[in-house]
C-alpha cells in the first residue's frame, strides 16, 4: 500500500451483533406465534418462516458490520527516524492519547501500524536511532511524564520512565531527540512556561542533569546531527520566529532567523546525508517553507512548498541516501507524506 495507509480503529467483530439480531428476530417471531395462535392456529406450525427471517437478518447484519470501516484515528503529533536499514521508523500520538508505530520502506510501502499500550495519554513523541539496529521511542504524556522504550536488535523493552526536568511548576509539552555519536542519545524539550532544556545519556551511564538552553518563550523544538559530534538546534518562539544554534565542541550563540513566512508554529529537522540537513517550518497561515545546508556552504534561502492543508506538526527522515521524506499532520488529524528522489514528488499524498 504505497500511498494510502489508512489508519483506523477496528470496527469490532460483527459476529456478536449478528447473533444478537438473529436471536432478537427469533424471539419476536415466537411472540407473534403465541399472540396469533388463538386467532389462526396455523401460525404455530410456521416456524420455518421465522427461522428463515432470523438467519437472513443475522447474515445481513454480519455483512454490514464487516463492510463498515472502523473509526478513523485522529493524529496530533508525528516523528520519524532513519533506521539505517533502508526503512524509516514513524511514531505518532493520537488525539485520544494512543501511541502508534510503523516502518516505511525505501520503495514507499508502509508496514501495518502497531499500537503501543502505555500508561497515561500521549501528548508528543520522538524517535531516535542511537546505534545500528537500535531504535528508541520517547513519549511525553498529558501530565508531562516522560517515558522511553527501546528496540535492541529486534527485541523491545517495556516503557520506562525518564527523569523529568526539575521544575515543580512547569511540565514538558514538546520534545525532540538526537544522537550525537553511536551509543549516545540526547533529549530536548519545551516546558509549558516556554523554557528549553536538554539532557543526555550514554549506553553505559544514567541520564545527565537537565540543562537550560538559556532562552524562553518557546513553543516547539527540533534537533539534528548532520555528522558525528555536531548538533544543530532549532526552536520556535511564541512570536513565530525561528531560532538556531549549533554544538561543535561547545555551543554557539543563538541566532534569530526571523519569520520565513507567517508566524511559525511547528518545525522539524533531519539529516539528509553526511554533513547535509534539511529544516521544515509550518506557519500559522497554512504555509510551509524549508531550507537546507551542506557542510562548508551557507544555508540556502527559504523555499516555499505548497500544502494541501493547514499542517500542525512535522517530521522528516530518510530511507536511503537518495530518498527523503517529509511527514505532516493536518488540522483534521490526517497524516500526509511527500518524498524526494532526485526531485520532490509533484504533490502531497495522504498517508493515513
- Per-residue confidence at 237, pLDDT binned at 50, 70, 90? very high
- Per-residue confidence at 167, pLDDT binned at 50, 70, 90? confident
Rounded CA separation 308/330 (Å): 9
Res 34: pLDDT: 55
3-state secondary structure of 339: strand
**Could you tell me if 352 and 75 are in contact, meaning their C-beta atoms sit under 8 angstroms apart?**
yes
Whether residue 313 is predicted with pLDDT greater than 90 in this model: the reply is yes
3-state secondary structure of 79: strand
- Per-residue confidence at 265, pLDDT binned at 50, 70, 90? very high
Res 273: pLDDT: 76
pTM above 0.85, yes or no: no
Rounded CA separation 142/174 (Å): 11
CATH class of 75-350: mainly beta
Res 295: pLDDT: 84
Mean pLDDT value of segment 135-153: 96
Mean pLDDT value of segment 244-267: 97
Mean pLDDT value of segment 104-119: 94
Res 30: pLDDT: 55
Mean pLDDT score across all residues of the chain: 86
Whether residue 250 is predicted with pLDDT greater than 70 in this model: the reply is yes
First to last CA, the chain: 11
**pLDDT single digits (tens) 25-38:** 555 555 555 555 55
Cell numbers standing for residue 42: 396455523
Res 46: pLDDT: 57
Domain extents in the chain: 14-67, 75-350
Mean pLDDT value of segment 290-307: 93
Cell numbers standing for residue 86: 533502508
Residues 6 or more apart in contact with residue 45 via CB below 8 angstroms = none
Closest CA to 200 of 190, 214, 211, 216: 211
Res 232: pLDDT: 96
Res 43: pLDDT: 47
Rounded CA separation 336/3 (Å): 10
Res 330: pLDDT: 97
Res 271: pLDDT: 87
- Per-residue confidence at 51, pLDDT binned at 50, 70, 90? low
- Per-residue confidence at 7, pLDDT binned at 50, 70, 90? very low
Whether residue 323 is predicted with pLDDT greater than 50 in this model: the reply is yes
- Per-residue confidence at 53, pLDDT binned at 50, 70, 90? low
**Could you tell me if 82 and 134 are in contact, meaning their C-beta atoms sit under 8 angstroms apart?**
no
Whether residue 142 is predicted with pLDDT greater than 90 in this model: the reply is yes
Res 4: pLDDT: 35
**Could you tell me if 241 and 258 are in contact, meaning their C-beta atoms sit under 8 angstroms apart?**
yes
**35-39, 96-100, 117-121: which range is least confident on average?**
35-39
Mean pLDDT value of segment 248-256: 96
Q: How far is CA 45 from the centre of its chain?
A: 61
Amino acid at each position: 500500500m504505497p500511498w494510502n495507509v489508512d489508519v483506523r480503529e477496528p470496527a469490532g467483530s460483527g459476529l456478536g451483533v449478528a447473533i444478537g439480531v438473529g436471536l432478537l428476530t427469533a424471539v419476536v417471531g415466537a411472540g407473534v406465534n403465541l399472540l396469533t395462535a388463538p386467532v389462526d392456529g396455523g401460525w404455530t406450525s410456521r416456524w420455518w418462516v421465522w427461522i428463515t427471517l432470523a438467519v437472513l437478518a443475522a447474515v445481513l447484519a454480519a455483512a454490514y458490520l464487516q463492510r463498515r470501516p472502523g473509526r478513523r484515528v485522529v493524529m496530533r503529533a508525528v516523528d520519524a527516524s532513519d533506521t539505517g536499514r533502508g526503512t524509516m521508523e514513524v511514531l505518532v500520538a493520537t488525539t485520544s492519547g494512543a501511541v502508534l508505530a510503523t516502518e516505511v520502506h525505501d520503495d514507499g510501502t508502509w508496514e501495518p501500524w502497531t499500537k503501543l499500550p502505555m500508561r497515561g495519554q500521549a501528548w508528543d513523541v520522538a524517535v531516535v536511532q542511537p546505534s545500528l539496529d537500535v531504535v528508541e521511542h520517547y513519549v511525553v504524556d498529558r501530565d508531562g511524564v516522560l517515558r522511553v522504550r527501546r528496540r535492541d536488535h529486534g527485541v523491545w523493552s517495556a516503557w520506562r520512565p525518564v527523569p523529568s526536568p526539575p521544575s515543580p511548576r512547569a511540565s514538558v509539552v514538546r520534545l525532540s531527540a538526537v544522537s550525537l555519536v553511536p551509543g549516545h542519545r540526547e533529549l530536548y524539550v519545551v516546558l509549558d512556561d516556554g523554557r528549553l532544556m536538554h539532557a543526555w545519556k550514554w549506553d553505559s551511564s544514567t541520564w545527565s542533569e537537565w540543562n537550560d538552553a538559556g532562552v524562553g518563550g518557546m513553543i516547539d523544538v527540533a534537533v539534528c546531527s548532520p555528522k558525528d559530534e555536531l548538533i544543530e538546534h532549532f526552536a520556535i518562539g511564541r512570536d513565530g520566529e525561528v531560532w538556531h544554534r549549533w554544538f561543535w565542541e561547545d555551543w554557539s550563540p543563538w541566532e534569530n532567523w526571523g519569520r520565513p513566512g507567517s508566524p511559525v508554529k511547528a518545525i522539524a529537522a533531519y539529516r539528509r546525508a553526511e554533513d547535509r540537513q534539511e529544516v521544515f517550518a509550518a506557519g500559522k497561515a497554512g504555509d510551509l517553507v524549508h531550507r537546507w545546508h551542506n557542510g562548508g556552504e551557507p544555508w540556502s534561502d527559504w523555499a516555499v512548498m505548497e500544502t494541501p492543508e493547514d499542517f500542525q506538526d512535522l517530521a522528516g527522515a530518510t530511507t536511503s541516501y537518495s530518498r527523503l521524506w517529509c511527514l505532516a499532520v493536518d488540522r483534521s488529524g490526517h497524516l500526509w507524506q511527500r518524498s524526494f528522489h532526485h526531485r520532490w514528488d509533484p504533490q502531497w499524498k495522504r498517508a493515513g
